[in-house]
Amino acid sequence: MTETLEFTQQRSDRPKSAEERAAILANPGFGKHFTDHTAVVDYKVDADGSGGWSNARIEPYGPIMMDPAAAVLHYGQEIFEGLKAYQHDDGSVWTFRAEANAARLNTSARRLALPELPEETFIESLRQLVAADKAWVPTGDGEALYLRPFMIATEAFLGVRPAHEVSYRVIASPAGNYWGGELKPVSIWLSDRYSRAGEGGTGEAKCGGNYAASLAAQLEAEANGCQQVLFLDKFNDNAIEELGGMNVFFVFKDGSLVTPELNGHILHGVTRSSVIELAKDRGLDVQERKITIDEWRDGVAAGDITEAFACGTAAVITPIGELKADGWSIASPSAGSGEVAMSIRQELLGIQTGAVEDSRGWLTRL
Ligand code: COI
């Protein structure tokens, strides 16, 4: 039986002033501003080889003191999660499918040879951090407090083996639209030079290395006027995998909704699985299957594919306006509206913010 850890509290003696906080909350952007506190839990492997979590605490947000030989700085032994906290009309704060994030953190932990964190400690870390920084939860349309749990190998040791000292932390950041400004369809760049993941690799894990490996392709996307990059599986008929930081869906004229199947390379997106459930409940024929870049191109040309959209915790649901590739492009016929995408987005945000009944028990009060 795991012992439930109690969080000790060390409150910041230099929190941002109410004026500074209000200025940030008026236009939070994404990932630029951080709250006054952080949650931390330490892990250590003892001499007898047994390991355990201890010293759960809330402490002031600030730089991490770390040995320059810490394993994470050399071998990238790191995993993370992303989820959001929403303030409802009565002032209560809720998070969405946090158990799914706790489970995925542990799947990632197993792949990166990091210790698993008990689900109750994961949820409690969010609860304690949000209690300390409740004033930071934004309430604007489509806004929320983005919670970023992460785990890093802190042991100072240069041999290549799983670290014996690890730190689990959560930081929080008020968030609006991931791309800034009003929600608009995004342009996607097709990377035919880089892969995101391969068979037996870390594609399914939410680890920093996957995102670091996407950045050269992301630079290419930006140089071509696009906001995200799409990765294909070149060894599987150019099957569509995912974007640099989000999953992808296609709406067909016949009422089906298609998303790439979870083939071991693709992140098990919590928003992805929520979209699948919401769409099935609407009677859409949801297909998790292989979809190639040729099927997208031909499907749009023939009028069979009517929408494409990206989804993720940060992106929520964002229509894809166009796909650009070297020498050709696919325009989405409903680039401006993305009717199905926007309707599912509205339902999802409605559940998250308390405007639509949570009949599936997806919300947890923090
Ligand atoms: C999220 O959607 O929470 C992610 O981790 C993706 C990242 C690109 C912000």
The C-alpha atoms of residue 324 and residue 186 are separated, in whole angstroms, by: 11
The C-alpha atoms of residue 237 and residue 164 are separated, in whole angstroms, by: 42
Query: pLDDT tens digit string along 29-49?
Result: 999 999 999 999 999 999 888
The C-alpha atoms of residue 179 and residue 321 are separated, in whole angstroms, by: 14
Which residue has the CA at smallest separation from atom 6 of ligand 1? 245
**79 HSE (CA, 13 A, CB side):** 26
Query: pLDDT tens digit string along 61-92?
Result: 999 999 999 999 999 999 999 999 999 999 99
- Residue 101: the pLDDT is 98
134-146 burial by CB neighbour count: b if 16+ within 10 A, else e?
bebbbeeebbbbb
Ligand 1 neighbour 147 (Cβ under 6 A)? no
Whether residue 240 contacts residue 228, with contact meaning beta carbons closer than 8 Å, is answered with no
Tokens (6 digits) for 352: 């998250």
Whether residue 149 contacts residue 31, with contact meaning beta carbons closer than 8 Å, is answered with no
Ligand 1 neighbour 82 (Cβ under 6 A)? yes
Cβ partners under 8 Å of residue 181, min gap 6: none
Distance (angstroms) between ligand 1 centre and the Cα of 79 equals 12
- Residue 142: the pLDDT is 85
Whether residue 131 contacts residue 115, with contact meaning beta carbons closer than 8 Å, is answered with no
The C-alpha atoms of residue 1 and residue 311 are separated, in whole angstroms, by: 37
Choice from 108, 148, 246, 309 to test ligand 1 binding pocket (greatest atom count within 8 A of CB)? 246
- Residue 98: the pLDDT is 97
The C-alpha atoms of residue 18 and residue 365 are separated, in whole angstroms, by: 25
The C-alpha atoms of residue 42 and residue 164 are separated, in whole angstroms, by: 11
- Residue 3: the pLDDT is 65
- Cα 163–166–172 angle (5° rounding)? 145
Atom of ligand 1 nearest to the CA of 313: 2
Distance (angstroms) between ligand 1 centre and the Cα of 174 equals 14
Atom of ligand 1 nearest to the CA of 244: 8
Ligand 1 neighbour 314 (Cβ under 6 A)? yes
Residue 114's Cβ-count burial label (10 Å; 0-12, 13-18, 19+) is buried
Residue 39's Cβ-count burial label (10 Å; 0-12, 13-18, 19+) is buried
Distance (angstroms) between ligand 1 centre and the Cα of 233 equals 21
Average per-residue pLDDT for the chain = 94
Which residue has the CA at smallest separation from atom 5 of ligand 1? 82
ipTM: 0.95
From residue 56, give the alpha-carbon distance in Å to each of 38, 124, 247: 11, 10, 33
The reported pTM is 0.94
Tokens (6 digits) for 197: 């993941």
- Residue 1: the pLDDT is 47
Give me the tens of pLDDT residue by residue for the chain, a chain 366 residues long.
456 799 999 999 999 999 999 999 999 999 999 999 999 999 999 988 899 999 999 999 999 999 999 999 999 999 999 999 999 999 999 999 999 999 999 999 999 999 999 999 999 999 999 999 999 999 988 899 999 999 999 999 999 999 999 999 999 999 998 888 788 889 999 988 899 888 899 999 999 999 999 999 999 999 999 999 999 999 999 999 999 989 999 999 999 999 999 999 999 999 999 999 999 999 999 999 999 999 999 999 999 999 999 999 988 999 999 999 999 998 865 545 688 999 999 999 999 999 999 999 999 999
Atom of ligand 1 nearest to the CA of 148: 3
Ligand 1 neighbour 269 (Cβ under 6 A)? no
User: Rounded to the nearest 10 degrees, what angle do helices 98-111 and 270-281 cross at?
Assistant: 140
- Residue 141: the pLDDT is 86
